[in-house]
Amino acid sequence: MSAERHILHVDMDAFYASVEQRDNPELRGKPLVVGGGSNRGVVAAASYEAREFGIRSAMPMREANQRCPDLLRVAPRMAHYQSVSSEVFSVFRQFTPQVEGLSLDEAFLDVTASLALFGSAVEIGRQIKARIRSDTRLTASVGIAPNKLVAKIASDLDKPDGLVIVTLENLRELLDPLPVSVIPGIGKRTLSQLHAASIRTIANLRIAPDRDLEPIFGRFTARTRERACGIDARPVIPSRPDKSISAEETFDTDLYKPADLQRKLMRLSERTASRLRKKGLTAATLQVKIRDSEFATFTRQQTLQPAGNGTGQLYESASHLLRGWLSENPGARIRLLGVAGSGLAEDSQQQLFADGDIAANAQLDQAVDDIRERFGGPSMARARTLDRH
C-alpha cells in the first residue's frame, strides 16, 4: 500500500470582492458584487454580506439587484486580481513546488515531501494562511486530506478563514452526512435524478445498489461510487501552461451596426494581444466567439501565419472571421463578442527583427505596453476603439 499523501486545497475567500473591500474601506461590511455593469451582466464574485441575500457568482445582475436593492457593484479589475494572485501563489511555492493552480484564487498543494522541513500538514496549512494574511491582508480557507477530492470538499466546509483536516481515520465520518451536491461534477440535472432515487447524502450514494446508480451514471458508476468513498488517486500536477488567452464582453444593448462591432472587436483584439505579450507568448490560432440575441453561441477560427501576438495581426484575422459570420447571418443582433488566441508558444521575439510593417507594428505595440505599464491601462487607446461621440 502506498504511503499516505498530504494534499491541501487552498481557496481564497470571496477573492475578487475581498480585494475590493480591502482596497476601499467604504465597501467593507456591505453587500458587494464584482461584475457586469448592467442588468444584462452577471456576478463575477459576491462578498459574504451579499451572499446572505442568496447572491452567488454567475447570477444575473438583474436577479442580484432584486434580491438586494442596496447592493453595491464594482467593475472587475482583472490585472489587479492577477497581481494579488501572484502574491498568493508565491506563498504556496515557499512550501512546495507541487502547486496545481485551478484559477486565480485556488490551488492544490502536495506537501507530502515538505513535512520534514515545515512540520505536519496541519502546521503547513496554518503557516500558509498566516502568510497570506500577512502579505495580502486577505483570508483563505484550507482543506487538508489524503487526496484532492476530499481536500477540495473540506476547504468549503468552514468558510471563511477555515481550516478543516480530514484523515483516513475520520474520512467516512466527515463525508457520509454531507449532501451529494458537494461532490464535484454533480450538476442540477444529476442531482434531481439522485433525489428522485432517494439518494441525498454521500452515505446514500456510497451504499446505493448498482441498479439505482447505473441509469444515472452509466459507465461512470464505479468511479462515482469511489468518489462517495473518498477515493481519488489523481496526483497534483504543477500548473500547466495556458491553453488559450482571451477577452470577451457582454454588451449593455445588442449590437448590429458593423462599425460598432468592429470597434468592439478592436478593443477585444487589443486586450487579448496585450495579455499574450505580457506572458511572452504567441498564438498560432485566432478564434472569435459570437453570441446572438437568442443566446445562441458561435465560434469561428483561423490559423495565424506566422503565429503572433500583434494587435493588428489579431484584429485583422478577427475582423475577417466576424465579417464572414455576418454575411451568413445578415441583420443579426449580437449580445457578446470574444477574441481568443490558442496554440500558444513562447515568443521568439523574431517579429522585432522583421522587415516592414511587422517590425513597425511590433515596436508600436511595445511602446503602448510600456506606456500603459507606467501610467495605467486607460492612459492610451487606439482611435478606432473610441466611440464616435
Q: Domain spans of the chain?
A: 1-164, 176-228, 244-385
Residue 287: pLDDT over 80:
yes
Predicted confidence (pLDDT) at residue 276 exceeds the cutoff of 70: yes
Q: Examine the residue annotation and report whether 248 is marked as an active-site residue of this protein.
A: no
Give the residue among 102, 343, 367 at the shortest CA–CA distance from 244: 343
* Neighbour count for residue 384 (Cβ, 10 Å): 13
CATH of 244-385, one of 3.20.20.70, 3.40.640.10, 3.30.1330.30, 3.30.1490.100: 3.30.1490.100
Going by C-alpha positions, the residue among 146, 86, 95, 89 that lies closest to residue 119 is 95
| SS3 call for 200 | coil
pLDDT of residue 388 exceeding 90: no
List, in sequence order, every residue forming a beta bridge with 286; answer none if it has no partner.
302, 341
Say what the pLDDT of residue 39 is: 62
pLDDT score at 347 = 76
Does residue 384 carry a pLDDT above 80?
Answer: no
With both helix axes pointing from N to C terminus, report the angle between 121-136 and 78-92 in degrees, rounded to the nearest 10. 140
Instruction: Provide the β-strand partners of residue 10.
Output: 107, 142
Residue 72 near residue 57, CB atoms below 8 Å: no
**Confidence at residue 320, expressed as pLDDT on a 0 to 100 scale:** 96
Is pLDDT at 149 greater than 50 in this prediction? yes
What pLDDT shows up at residue 350? 45
Average pLDDT over residues 167-177: 95
176-228 maps to which CATH number? 1.10.150.20
Q: How far is CA 382 from the centre of its chain?
A: 28
- The yes-or-no verdict on residue 49 having pLDDT over 60 is yes
Helix (H, G, I), strand (E, B) or coil at 100: strand
* Dihedral (CA of 151, 156, 162, 166) sign: negative
% of the chain exceeding 70 in pLDDT: 87
The C-alpha atoms of residue 304 and residue 250 are separated, in whole angstroms, by 26
State the residue for C-alpha cell 508558444.
345
Q: Which of 20, 49, 100, 106 is catalytic?
A: 106
**What are 100's three cell numbers?**
496545481
Q: Which CATH class is domain 1-164?
A: alpha beta
- What is the pTM for the complete model shown? 0.66
Work out the mean pLDDT of the chain and round it to a whole number: 88
Secondary structure (3-state) at 55: coil
pLDDT value of residue 3: 74
pLDDT band at 356 (very low <50, low <70, confident <90, very high): very low
Q: Give CA–CA dist 206/49, Å, rounded.
A: 35
Q: Are 254 and 293 in contact (CB under 8 A)?
A: yes
Q: Report residue 43: phi and psi, to 5°.
A: -80, 125
Tell me how long the chain is: 389
Cβ proximity of 104 and 85 under 8 Å:
yes
Q: What is the mean pLDDT of the segment spanning 232-250?
A: 85
